[in-house]
Amino acid sequence: MRNKSGIKDISKNDIGFSIRTRRKQLKKTMQELADAAGLSVGFISQLERNLVIPSLSSLASIASVLKVEVSYFLDAPTVSSKISRKKDREFFKIHGSRPVYSKLNKIQSGSQLISVMTKTPPGYLSEKVSHEGEEQVILMEGKGFVVLDDERYDLEAGDCVHYMSKTPHQYGTRGKKEAVWICVGTQPLFDMENEQQD
C-alpha cells in the first residue's frame, strides 16, 4: 500500500507479533535473540510489543537469527535491471517507521553487496546494532552522524565512513533537514536467492 507521497509500506502483518511467535517456535528467549542479533534485550522487548520499529538492518539481523528470510516480515521490492535509474526508483518503508528506503541494486549470482538509499528525517536516531559483514556509508545530502562503539563522528554531505559491521553502530540526522544516505554493505537485507531467479 502506498501513502500520499508514493512511498510503499512493505510490512506484512504485525512485525512484533511475528517476531515473538517465531522466537517462541524456536524456543529462544528474548536475551538469546538480542545477543545473537547484536541488539539490546530492551529493544527486542519493545519491538515485540510494537513500541519501536526496527531499521531494515536490525530486521535482517533478527530474521537471520530466527532462521527466516526478510520476506517473512516484508514484501521487499526487487530491482529488475543492472542499472538503477533515478526516475524509476521506488521508495518503501516499514510500517510506522520514520526512515524510507530505496533498493539500488539487483541481486545477481555471486552478489555480496547490497546498496540502499535511506532518507532519514530531522531528529532521527537508529537503534544500535552489530552484525556480520562490513559497510560503507556515504552521506549524500543534509547533516548526519555515525556512532561506532561509543565514538560519534559528525558528517557533512559528501562524507563517507567505512567499518566492520561487528562494531556496534548507529546513525542519525543532525539539523532541521532530511538526510540522504547511500549504504553499501554485505548484510543480506533482502532475499538473495529469490531475486537471482527473477
Tens of pLDDT along the chain (198 residues) come to 555 567 888 777 789 999 999 999 999 999 999 999 999 999 999 999 999 999 999 999 999 999 998 888 888 777 778 888 888 888 888 888 889 999 998 877 778 899 999 999 999 999 999 999 999 999 999 999 999 999 999 999 999 999 999 999 999 999 999 999 999 999 988 775 555 444
C-alpha grid cell, residue 78: 526487487
Residues 6+ apart with CB under 8 A from 31: 41
> What's the pLDDT at 198?
46
Q: Considering the entire predicted model, what is its pTM?
A: 0.85
Domains of the chain: 101-196 (2.60.120.10)
Give the pairing type, strands 92-93 and 8-9: parallel
| Geometric angle at alpha carbon 148, from 92 and 41, rounded to 5° | 70
Residue 61, CA distances (Å) to 72, 157, 180, 182 in order: 13, 28, 23, 19
Contacts of 67 (CB under 8 A, 6+ apart): 26
Q: What is the pLDDT of residue 1?
A: 54
SS3 state at 122: coil
Sign (positive or negative) of CA dihedral 193, 90, 184, 16: negative
- DSSP 3-state assignment of 19? helix
